[in-house]
A and B are shown apart, each in its own frame.
Chain A
Amino acid sequence: MALDRSEVEKIAHLARLHVSDAEAEEVTTRITDILALIDQMQSVNTDNVEPLAHPTDAVQRLREDKVTAEINRDELQKLAPKSQDGLYLVPKVMD
């Protein structure tokens, strides 16, 4: 299965990644190679095989419902480019 350039641009957009024209060419080839591997895997008969959720056989451990977090908001907000009134500030995104 080959991938065309516009699909690569769409994927890049969904992931909010900037891909330059020069890179797009290379990325298209690389993803196409990955898809070739997936094509090969898809040729395996998986009828009656339960999808695997996790490679180990372990099951999830559960945590008691207790408030245990120690939160230092000022420390955390120092990591952010911008904050004000306790809020993290980000470029405006409207939906």
Chain B
Amino acid sequence: MEWETVIGLEVHVSLSTQSKLFSGSSTKFGAEPNTQANIFDAALPGTLPVFNKDALRMAVRFGVGIGAEIGKRSVFDRKNYFYPDLPKGYQVTQLDYPTVGKGSLTVVLSDGREKEIGVTRAHIEENAGKSLHEDYHGMSGIDLNRAGEPLLEIVSEPEISNAEEAVAYLKKLHTIIRYLDISDAIMAQGSMRCDVNVSIRRVGDTELGTRTEIKNINSFRFVEKAIHSEVQRQQELIEDGGRVIQETRRYNADRDETTPMRSKEVANDYRYFPEPDLLPIVIDDAYIEAIRADLPELPDAKKQRFVEEFKLSDYDAGVLASSRELAEYFELVAKQTGDAKLAANWVSGDLQALLNKNSWEVADCPIQAERLASLISRIKDDTISGKIAKTVFETMIEDASSVDDIIEAKGLKQVTDSGEIEKLVDDVIANNPDQVQQFKEGKEQVIGFLVGQAMQLSKGKANPGQVNALLKDKMK
């Protein structure tokens, strides 16, 4: 039987404000428990919310950034449920009048195909606190530092057809959010979290199948694996004559399976109603236009510009533009060296590999753009070969001296002196009579071998172009 998958994603990002959504408590990560929870966050009677200007600005910035409709009048609602890390007994969120309405973003898939995925809405809401279920004499410990932090919940249309598209959508969202500088969006730290709604149906069906929701997945890889495993579970269930029930599940990475979260005895009923403690938020065109005018160049535009301005391939431009920091780094190197192609190769190759290997952000990297640019400049002016440059690059990770000092100290300067190269070439010709003979008989590809010999003899320092020319000359 042919099945198709329908996926919708709900992504929560923590907005990077200094203070909470409705109180003046700090949002700094990693503080001692409850040192960032004031009387409002602890829901003491009589306390009232005061709405944070920057949370609104960041939400609108996101909306404008993805070309979405902006709610000029948004309204907060109470979503009522009982849980101890939610001391008010309700979460303040936006039900019918979210700040951000319909929009979309475009993802590029591995086969090069582009797909536009709709964003239904994005609303502002408050985070809950944290429950610690370790043993406190059979009780749970509650830390309210996170309670009341501003979140933006971004809801996609059910237009995602498989795990690859889901991950591409998430990565694109992540990139845009980082470009907009409205959240760290670090999945491992919980500042970006993802709930996945999955259902399957027979190809050709127009009705959606019953969906399950997999909660709180905290890495791109687990999103992919959770979808694969849940789709397979639903298919086997239906093909065996069973029925999918609408429920919340969690993904267990060790066992690569989803399991139902303990279902509540009584189905939850959130009893939404408008939050009487907050008035509607009203913004005008001038407010929205000011935010639009303040937008940075976004990833799609940057990619396009890299292709046009630096003549990069779509692929290279896409890789570099996928991170704002990497793109800025590349641009500095390209401008300083005047060689965009070489700059792109180094930044998306050696530099990216170095960052990945050490889990470094661009800012943590001991080789900053100016130093990489000097290294590339030394390749371009023939001071060193590309191969030797890799050695210098390795040294630069540990050694903060200038590129020129490293080349000098290690004696890596390329040999361009024709006398020295002639001597090398003579040695190679004398030591490899068979290959020289083959060359003379017309087997020209042995030149590669002979150049290699000369390079080895010079410990990589000879200029390969010069060696090549001189070898040919002498073997004529």
- Chain A residues near B (Cβ < 8 Å): 10, 13-16, 51-54, 56, 58-71, 73, 76-77, 79, 82, 84-95
CA distance A60 to B283 in the complex (A): 10
CB pair B281–A86 under 8 Å, yes or no, is no
In the complex, the answer to whether A95 meets B19 with C-beta atoms within 8 Å is no
Interface core residue of B17, B23, B279 (most chain A CB under 10 Å): B279
Q: Which residues of A contact B189 (CB under 8 A)?
A: none
Q: Is the interface of A mostly helix, strand, loop or mixed?
A: loop
Contact A87 B84 (CB under 8 A): no
- Indicate if the CB atoms of A76 and B39 lie closer than 8 Å: yes
Interface set of B (CB-CB < 8 Å, partner A): 17-19, 23-26, 32-39, 42, 44, 50-56, 75, 80-84, 96-97, 131-133, 136-144, 261-262, 264, 266, 268-269, 271, 274, 276, 278-282
Known: A54-B274, A62-B53, A87-B136; 17 extra A-B contacts, CB below 8 A, are: A14-B80, A54-B279, A59-B281, A63-B52, A63-B53, A65-B52, A65-B55, A66-B18, A69-B23, A69-B24, A76-B37, A84-B136, A87-B33, A90-B142, A93-B83, A93-B140, A95-B262
Q: Is the CB of B37 within 8 A of A71?
A: yes
The 3 A-B residue pairs whose C-beta atoms are closest, nearest first, are: A68-B24, A87-B141, A65-B54
CB-defined contacts of B81 to chain A, threshold 8 Å: 14
Q: Name the prevailing secondary structure of the B interface residues.
A: loop
Cα–Cα distance between A65 and B17 once the two chains are bound (Å): 7
| Cα separation A56 to B261 with both chains bound (whole Å) | 42
Q: How far does the alpha carbon of A64 sit from the alpha carbon of B282 in the complex, in Å?
A: 16
From A10, A15, A90, name the one whose CB has the most chain B CB atoms within 10 angstroms. A90
Complex CA gap A64/B55 in Å reads 10
Q: Are A14 and B269 in contact (CB under 8 A)?
A: yes
Chain B positions within 8 Å of A68 at CB level: 19, 24
* Contact residues in A for B266 (Cβ distance below 8 Å): 10, 13-14
Cβ contact within 8 Å between B138 and A60: no
Contact partner of A53 (CB less than 8 A), chosen from B35, B56, B131, B280, is B280
Complex-state Cα separation, A13 to B271, whole angstroms: 13
The answer to whether A58 touches B279, judged by C-beta atoms less than 8 angstroms apart, is yes
Bound CA–CA A25/B143 (angstroms): 39
A15 CB contacts on chain B under 8 angstroms: 82
Distance (whole angstroms) from the CB of A87 to the closest CB of chain B: 3
Chain B residues whose C-beta falls within 8 Å of the C-beta of A93 in the assembled complex: 83-84, 131, 140
A90 to chain B, nearest CB (A): 4
- Give chain A residues whose Cβ lies under 8 Å from the Cβ of B83: 93, 95
